[in-house]
Chain A
Amino acid sequence: MSDGAKNTNTEPWGGFDDPPVQGSGSAVIDMENMDDTSGSSFEDMGEMHQRMTEEEEEGPGGAPGEEPGDDGEFLGMKGIKGQLGRQVADEVWQAGKREASKAFNLYANIDILRPYFDVEPVQVRSRLIESMIPVRTIAFPQKVAGELYGPMMLVFTLVAILLHGMKTSQTIIREGTLMGTAIGTCFGYWLGVSSFIYFLAYLVNSQITMLQTLSLLGYGLFGHCVVLFITYNIHFHFLFYGLWLLVGGLSTLRMVAVLLSRTVGQTPRLVICGTLAALHMLFLLYLHFTYHKMVEGILDTLEGVNALPIQRVARDVPVLAPAAISVTLNTTLQTLGALLQSH
């Protein structure tokens, strides 16, 4: 048969610029028996293919150059809706499959993150220790490790420690769950404050990338983990403040020194370092006081429901201090506990 139309289309299924109406006698294959009622169903494609093959086999007298599955020429008068619908369905199916493959390959795109996890245990350990040691020189930009394994593990460790603290203090979370709160807080801090610092760095023209702020802040959480781990187990008010200043201060100084070395100008330095220091120290204070009540007895966990909620027993300070001081401390804590309960 003569193809009146030139095939100028580029789509695989024939395109819209084929003449839609063919003469009824032009097609060798008689499509009148085709079931047109199903407009666009994918299953019909298989049926159509099968029928094509059968008709191919049984029609040896057909024009040799005529492909039964010829898209452009195949829109016989009878089957216009069905055929067009089927081809559209086919194209939609192809497009959908492509999109699904792309979306599935997103899973393989964790390879984007792969270089940031390329660390050795020795490196992680040395970076953890370095995060507590402020650098001496701020004359030239200090190196910041751009890895995400250490920060992520530290965030999860912090979550576990928070959970430990929440459980022993029986924090009752009304909306949401303990786990949800802990994870939300820690990840929110890490991601949110990193982004904020990166934004500030962009404003004050600091030479630091997002990955580096994530990494820096993540390793700064090491100090938090240490402090919280100690003070959730030893309820010593002044110990917490001392550790807060010492450990928190050291890790803050380290981060601040790195930022100072990468920023030029007095005011920008003040802005970014002040913000970071404030957020970092305040976060530790927040974690300590929100998820942990000061005078909590671990006896609550030991005795379970036998201890009435009102009856909180101050935990005795372990023998770190001479007896007199611990006795004083215990009475102090008990009075403080009574004060707290009244609020």
Chain B
Amino acid sequence: MAEADGSSRAFLGLSDVSISEDIPVEGDISMPPTSSSQDDGFSTLDEPVKDTVLRDLKAVGNKFVHVLYPKKSKALLRDWDLWGPLLLCVTLALLLQGGSVDSKDDGGPQFAEVFVIIWFGSLIITLNSKLLGGTISFFQSLCVLGYCIMPLTVAMVVCRIVLLGGSGTVSFVVRLVVVCASFGWSTFASTAFLADSQPQNRKALVVYPVFLFYFVIGWMILTFAPAQ
């Protein structure tokens, strides 16, 4: 009847409030809550916080290892997370802060600038790779690009240490070598993951923005000079 249709339609919206509409969902939502003893394997809400944190840290650490030895593996793509990129981005931005030649004016990038560059750049690269017909998803791409900033962060730490010993020509050369090496490593690592998702002959089109992105970050690291 029309009323029945109307009412069922009204409540249809209730039943799929958090489910996409094209998957027909049926069931009785008035089921009394059962004890969670039967689904311990899937329910992570009841475990101690320490377990959750340790598990996440292990996942992040695992991905760092994958970046250090880039080989074509699906682990980084499959279990993407954005903790690692956030951590690296914040570390890099903090380390890059406060660099200025003239202490009155701010010649170094601000925290917000680095943050925005990294995330905005990752976004652009992801959009670009999707528009070029990539099969990788949005967050997976962000995850890969973020994790591959790790060599550059390491280079930043090294540069800061080198700068502690003075900032002459030798230090510049050392820093240049370190930054170039880590920039190459970052680009290579990220293409090892990203390029697989592209059609064969278009890899260069995806690699170039990645190259530019890490080049800009590497340039910021190289030209960093601490305030007196």
A302 at the B interface (CB under 8 A): yes
CB-defined contacts of B38 to chain A, threshold 8 Å: none
CB-defined contacts of B219 to chain A, threshold 8 Å: 160, 163-164, 167
Query: Would you call A120 and B127 a contact (CB within 8 A)?
Result: no
B184 at the A interface (CB under 8 A): no
Q: Which residue of B lies closest to A66 (CB)?
A: B3
- Chain A interface residue count, Cβ-Cβ cutoff 8 angstroms: 63
Question: How many pairs of residues, A versus B, come closer than 8 Å at their CB atoms?
Answer: 144
Q: Which residues 285-340 of A sit at the B interface, judged by CB distance below 8 A? A: 300-306, 309
Query: Would you call A50 and B9 a contact (CB within 8 A)?
Result: no
Pick from A73, A117, A300: contact of B132, CB under 8 Å? A117
Query: Would you call A69 and B29 a contact (CB within 8 A)?
Result: no
B102 at the A interface (CB under 8 A): yes
Query: Would you call A110 and B216 a contact (CB within 8 A)?
Result: no
Q: Which residues 140-157 of A sit at the B interface, judged by CB distance below 8 A? A: 149, 152-153, 156-157
A46 at the B interface (CB under 8 A): yes
A303 in contact with B168 given A119-B205, A124-B205, A178-B109 (CB within 8 Å): yes
A87 at the B interface (CB under 8 A): yes
A46 CA to B227 CA, complexed, in Å = 60
A328 CA to B192 CA, complexed, in Å = 51
CB-defined contacts of A178 to chain B, threshold 8 Å: 109, 113
A53 in contact with B30 given A97-B13, A305-B228 (CB within 8 Å): yes
Shortest beta-carbon distance, B3 to chain A, in Å? 5
CB-defined contacts of A49 to chain B, threshold 8 Å: 11, 14, 29-30
CB-defined contacts of B208 to chain A, threshold 8 Å: 153
Shortest beta-carbon distance, A104 to chain B, in Å? 11
List 9 extra interface pairs beyond A301-B225, A304-B163, CB under 8 A. A7-B3, A68-B7, A117-B131, A121-B201, A153-B208, A156-B124, A177-B109, A177-B113, A309-B101
Interchain residue pairs with CB less than 8 A apart (25): A45-B14, A46-B29, A49-B14, A50-B29, A52-B11, A67-B1, A67-B7, A67-B8, A68-B7, A90-B10, A97-B17, A110-B127, A114-B133, A117-B132, A121-B204, A156-B209, A156-B212, A163-B219, A178-B113, A179-B113, A301-B223, A302-B168, A305-B225, A305-B228, A309-B102
